Amino acid sequence: FPLNYYSVSDGLQPIVGKSCECFAKIIESISNYISSNGLIENNIVKCDEVLRNAFNTDTIHLNQLPFIVRYNI
């Protein structure tokens, strides 16, 4: 089945590494970035400068991440 590809916002491109990607890969890239940088505590993502630039917020509840990403791509 065909996958939908999305334009990746300028703020997310440093994390995703591409300007166009499928939603699952975008989420995977962001999740890997969060994990590798130790930005999660008690299901809350504490945004560093890169995530703050991408999402314009200091924290994100982990359950809300897919919705916030979809809004920002």
Give the Cβ contact number of residue 31 at 10 Å. Answer: 16
Compute the distance between CA of residue 49 and CA of residue 6 in angstroms, rounded to an integer: 23
Angle, helix 23-36 to helix 65-72, in steps of 10 degrees: 120
One-letter identity of residue 20:
C
From 25, 31, 29, select the one nearest 4 (Cα to Cα).
25
Burial of 27 (0-12, 13-18, 19+ CB in 10 A): middle
pTM, rounded to two decimals = 0.90
Reported as a single tens digit per residue, the pLDDT across 8-67 is 999 999 999 999 999 999 999 999 999 999 999 999 999 999 999 999 999 999 999 999
